[in-house]
C-alpha cells in the first residue's frame, strides 16, 4: 500500500522514529526542519510498501553518518543531502528509482524524506534495522549479502567521495575516518539493492510504525492518558525503570558519542546505568541486566512521553525507561556477532527486552 | 623526443630519482622490483617528452601515498597499482592516454613505470615537482589551478575510493586519513589534466634527468672517480657537509615518517641537524642554515654516492650532504606558502641551496 507523506506528518514521524532510534539517530527536531523544508519546496513524498516495489527497482539508502552531538550543530543543506545519491547514481550508471532509510532514528528517518522530496523519488516504507545502530555495516541487508559499497559520502563544503570496498566493515572503517576528518558529520548513500532484495532484507512498515507511535504519544497527551503506556503497548515492550537523571558522562571520540548515564529512582532502589555509543546499548542496575542491544532501550520523558536522545540527556530530567523487542532477525548468532554486547566491548551476554539472557545458540560441534 | 624504457635502465632511473627525491619517495629498490616485474610481463614503456604530448591527451598522475617506513614492508601488486587508474578512467568516462609521475623519488618514479607498462600507456618524461614532497597538494600543477581530484585510491586488500573535493588541501586531508586507516600506504591516481596543461604545469625531462644522475653515479664508480662530485656537478648544487650519522629520531605519525638526524664531522666542526617529514626539510648546524625546503637536501653514501632515504638513515653511516636548486617556480610567494619551512611548522625563513635566505618577497602595500 502506498500513501502520501506531507509536512503535517513530519512531527509525528520524527517523534516515533526517535522512540525506535533507542537514543540514537540524532535530534528528531533537526531532521524535521530539513524534511519540512524539502516538502515545502518540492511537494509531498509517495511512500511505497515493500509489497509494491518492483523487482528491478534500484534502491539506495540515504543517511547522515557521524556523531549526533555534532549533527545538532551542523544542519545539512538539501544540496548536501542529494549529493551522495547523485554521485552514486552516476557511479552505478543507472537511474535510482527508490530511496530507503538505513535506520529508524530521529535524523535518519527524516533525512531520507528530504532526499526523496528533493530527488522526486518514492520512499520505501521500510528501513535496514527497525531501530538505530552506530556503525554502517549494522543493517539486516549485511546478513543478506548486500554490500554497503559502492557508497557515496558528502559534506557541507562540497566534498564528495565514492567507496568500493571488499566488505561492509571496510566501508565503515574508511567512511568513518573520512567522516571524522570532514567534521564528524556527513551525508551518505549506499547499499544499492534491487527491489526484490529490498523486500527480503529490509524491515517493512517502519515509517508507518513510527508515525503510529509518534501520533499515539500526541493523542495520549490530548486525551490526558499516559503517553508512555501508549508507547509501551504499541511496541509490545515493558517499562522497567523510572527516575531522575543524576549523571551523564559523554565524549565524542572516534566519530561517536560514547558515554554513560545514571538514573536514580525514589526510595531504596539501586540506580540504573545506561551505556551508549550513539544508541543505548546496555541497561543495568547492580547485578541486574534489564536489557541489552540488539533489543531496544528507550528513554522517555516521564510526563510528556517524548523520546530523549543520548545527546539530549541532562541532569535532572525525570524519565521512564522502556525496553522493547527488536526485529527477530537480530537474534540470530550471525546478527549477535555483529551487534551484540560483545562487539561493543562488553563482557556480557545479550539480554532480551524482558530481562532474560539470550538463549545460548548451540554451535555445531560445541 | 620519445624513448623506450626497458628493465635494464630501472636501476639507474631509481637511483637518480632517489637523489632528486631528497630523502623521500620511498625505497628505490622496492619500486624497482615492481617496475622490473611489470616491464618483464608487459614489455617496455614509451617515454614521451612534454613537447610531444597531444593537447587533448588525458594525463593522470600515479603514485604511492603513505609513510615510506610502511611502504618498504607492503609492496603493492600490479593489480593494486592499476586499480586507481581504472577507477578514475571510469569515473571520468574518458580513456586515459598518458601516465605521469606526481613526484620524483624512489618509489614514486618507478611505480608509474609499472603502471604505464601494465596499462600499455605512454609515460611522460616529466613530474609534478622535480623533487619529492610529503603532501599531495604540493605539486606545481596546484599553482596552475589543476585539481588533485577526482582522485582515486586503492589498497592491497581491494578497497578503492574516488574523491571529488573542493580544493587540493581537502583531497590531501581525506585521502590521508583513508590512507592511514587502510594501512599507511595506498596507490593513488589523480590530477587529471589535458596534454596542453601538462606541458605548462609539469617539470619536463625529470625521467631523463634521473636516468642521467643514476648512470652518472654508476659510471663514476666504474671510472674510480668521485660519484658524489659527479652528482653535485649534474645538479649544479654544492656539497656542504660530510660526517657520520650519530643519531636518528624517527616516528611514523599521522601517516608520515617524521624525524631528525644528527651527523657529526671530524675535527672541531658543529654537528649537522637534518629535519624531515618523509623528505629532508631543513639542514642546520648551530645558527647556520645550509638549506631548507623547497631547495633539495640530499644525503649520499660517502663512498658509493648512493642516495640514502630518510627511512634508510642508520647510526654509523658515513655520508656526504648536498644541496641543489629546485625548479625556480617553487620560489614564488604562492609556492613558498605551500612548501616553505613555515608550512611545516618551522619558524625559519626559506634558505636557498647556497645558504642565502630567500629574498624577502615584497607584498603590495607592505
Dihedral angle computed from the Cα positions of residues A170, A174, A180 and A182, in that order, rounded to the nearest 10 degrees: -140
* Interface touch B174/A178, C-beta < 8 Å: yes
- Partners of A162 on chain B (C-beta within 8 Å) are 91, 161-162
pLDDT band for position A70 (50/70/90)? confident
Cα A182 to Cα A184: distance, rounded to the nearest angstrom: 6
Q: Closest-CA residue in chain A for B164?
A: A160
pLDDT at B361: 52
**DSSP character for A351?**
B
On whether any CB of chain A is under 8 Å from the CB of B92, the answer is no
Architecture label for domain B228-339: Beta Barrel (2.40)
pLDDT digits (tens, 9 = 90+) for A107-163: 899 999 999 999 999 999 999 999 999 888 899 999 999 999 999 999 999 999 999
* Interface touch A181/B177, C-beta < 8 Å: yes
B163/chain A closest Cα distance in angstroms:
4
* Interface touch B164/A166, C-beta < 8 Å: no
- Partners of A181 on chain B (C-beta within 8 Å) are 173-174, 176-177
pLDDT digits (tens, 9 = 90+) for A169-196: 999 999 999 999 998 889 999 999 999 9
* Interface touch A159/B177, C-beta < 8 Å: no
Q: Closest-CA residue in chain B for A179?
A: B174
- Test the A interface: residue of B169, B181, B188 with most A CBs within 10 Å: B181
- Partners of B161 on chain A (C-beta within 8 Å) are 161-164, 174
Residue holding cell 586503492? B154
- Partners of B162 on chain A (C-beta within 8 Å) are 91, 161-162
pLDDT at B60: 97
* Interface touch A157/B170, C-beta < 8 Å: yes
What's the helix, strand, coil split of chain A in %, to 5? 35, 30, 35
pLDDT band for position A361 (50/70/90)? low
Nearest to B158 among A87, A166, A182 (CB): A166
Cα B157 to Cα A57: distance, rounded to the nearest angstrom: 31
- According to CATH, the superfamily of the domain at B3-206 is CV3147-like domain (3.40.1610.10)
- Burial zone of B356 (CB within 10 Å; 0-12 exposed, 13-18 middle, 19+ buried): exposed
Q: Closest-CA residue in chain A for B165?
A: A159
On whether any CB of chain B is under 8 Å from the CB of A20, the answer is no
* Interface touch B181/A174, C-beta < 8 Å: yes
Q: In what order do the strands lie in the sheet with B318-324?
A: B288-292, B279-285, B272-277, B256-264, B238-253, B318-324, B296-301
pLDDT band for position A266 (50/70/90)? confident
Domains of chain A, by residue range, sit at: 3-206, 235-339
Distance of CA B281 to the CA centre of its chain: 13
Distance of CA B287 to the CA centre of its chain: 29
Nearest to B163 among A161, A173, A176 (CB): A161
Does an H or E element contain B54, and which? none
Position A27 pLDDT exceeds 80? no
Q: ipTM greater than 0.85, yes or no?
A: no
Instruction: List b or e across A232-254, with b for residues whose CB sees 16 or more CB atoms inside 10 angstroms.
Output: bebbebbbbbbbbbeebeeebee
On whether any CB of chain A is under 8 Å from the CB of B188, the answer is no
pLDDT digits (tens, 9 = 90+) for A294-344: 999 999 999 999 999 998 899 999 999 999 999 999 999 999 999 999 999
* Interface touch B174/A181, C-beta < 8 Å: yes
Set of cell numbers at residue B186: 595506498
Residues of chain B with pLDDT under 50: 362-366
Q: Closest-CA residue in chain A for B91?
A: A91
**Interior angle at CA B133, CA B262 and CA B363, nearest 5:** 100
Q: In what order do the strands lie in the sheet with A256-264?
A: A288-292, A279-285, A272-277, A256-264, A238-253, A318-324, A296-301
A141 Cβ contact partners less than 8 Å away, ≥ 6 residues apart: A128, A191, A193, A197, A201, A202
A317/chain B closest Cα distance in angstroms:
39
Nearest to B161 among A157, A162, A166 (CB): A162
Cα A23 to Cα B258: distance, rounded to the nearest angstrom: 42
Position A281 pLDDT exceeds 50? yes
Architecture label for domain A235-339: Beta Barrel (2.40)
Dihedral angle computed from the Cα positions of residues A357, A359, A360 and A364, in that order, rounded to the nearest 10 degrees: -170
Tell me if the bond preceding A224 is cis, omega within 30° of 0.
Answer: no
B111/chain A closest Cα distance in angstroms:
23
DSSP-assigned letters across all residues of A191-226: EEEEHHHHHHHSEETHHHHHHHHHHHHHHHHHTTS-
On whether any CB of chain B is under 8 Å from the CB of A254, the answer is no
Distance of CA A23 to the CA centre of its chain: 9
Count CA atoms closer than 13 A to B185's CA, side-chain side.
22
Amino acid at each position: 500500500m502506498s500513501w502520501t507523506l506531507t509536512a503535517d506528518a513530519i512531527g509525528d514521524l520524527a517523534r516515533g522514529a526517535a522512540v525506535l532510534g533507542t537514543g540514537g539517530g540524532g535530534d528528531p527536531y533537526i531532521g524535521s526542519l530539513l524534511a519540512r523544508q524539502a516538502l515545502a519546496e518540492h511537494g509531498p513524498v509517495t511512500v511505497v510498501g515493500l509489497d509494491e516495489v518492483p523487482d528491478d527497482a534500484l534502491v539506495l539508502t540515504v543517511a547522515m553518518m557521524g556523531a549526533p552531538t555534532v549533527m545538532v550543530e551542523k544542519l545539512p543543506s538539501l544540496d548536501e543531502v542529494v549529493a551522495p545519491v547523485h554521485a552514486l547514481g552516476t557511479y552505478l550508471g543507472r537511474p535510482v528509482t527508490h530511496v530507503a532509510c538505513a535506520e529508524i532514528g530521529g535524523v535518519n528517518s527524516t533525512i531520507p524524506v528530504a532526499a526523496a522530496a528533493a530527488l522526486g523519488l518514492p520512499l520505501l516504507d521500510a528501513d535496514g534495522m527497525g531501530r538505530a545502530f552506530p556503525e554502517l555495516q549494522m543493517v539486516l541487508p549485511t546478513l543478506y549479502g548486500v554490500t554497503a559499497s559502492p557508497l557515496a559520502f558528502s559534506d557541507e563544503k562540497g566534498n564528495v567521495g565514492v567507496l568500493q570496498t571488499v566488505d561492509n566493515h571496510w566501508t565503515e572503517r574508511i567512511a568513518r575516518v573520512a567522516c571524522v576528518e570532514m567534521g564528524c558529520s556527513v551525508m551518505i548513500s549506499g547499499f544499492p539493492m534491487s527491489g526484490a532484495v529490498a523486500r527480503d532484507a529490509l524491515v517493512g512498515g517502519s515509517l508507518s510504525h513510527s508515525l503510529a507511535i509518534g501520533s499515539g504519544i500526541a493523542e495520549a497527551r490530548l486525551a490526558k492518558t499516559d503517553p508512555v503506556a501508549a508507547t509501551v503497548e504499541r511496541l509490545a515492550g515493558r517499562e522497567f525503570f523510572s527516575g531522575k537523571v543524576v549523571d551523564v558522562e559523554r565524549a565524542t571520540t572516534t566519530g561517536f558519542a560514547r558515554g554513560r548515564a545514571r538514573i536514580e529512582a525514589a526510595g531504596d532502589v539501586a540506580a540504573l546505568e545506561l551505556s551508549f555509543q550513539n544508541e543505548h546499548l546496555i541497561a543495568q542496575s547492580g547485578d541486574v541486566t534489564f536489557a541489552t542491544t540488539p533489543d531496544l532501550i528507550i528513554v522517555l520523558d516521564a510526563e510528556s512521553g517524548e523520546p530523549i536522545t543520548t545527546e539530549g540527556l541532562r541532569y535532572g530530567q525525570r524519565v521512564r525507561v522502556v525496553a522493547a523487542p527488536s526485529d527477530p532477525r537480530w537474534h540470530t548468532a550471525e546478527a549477535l556477532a555483529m551487534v551484540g554486547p560483545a562487539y561493543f566491548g562488553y563482557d556480557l551476554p545479550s539480554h532480551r527486552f524482558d530481562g532474560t539472557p539470550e538463549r545460548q545458540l548451540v554451535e555445531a560441534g560445541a
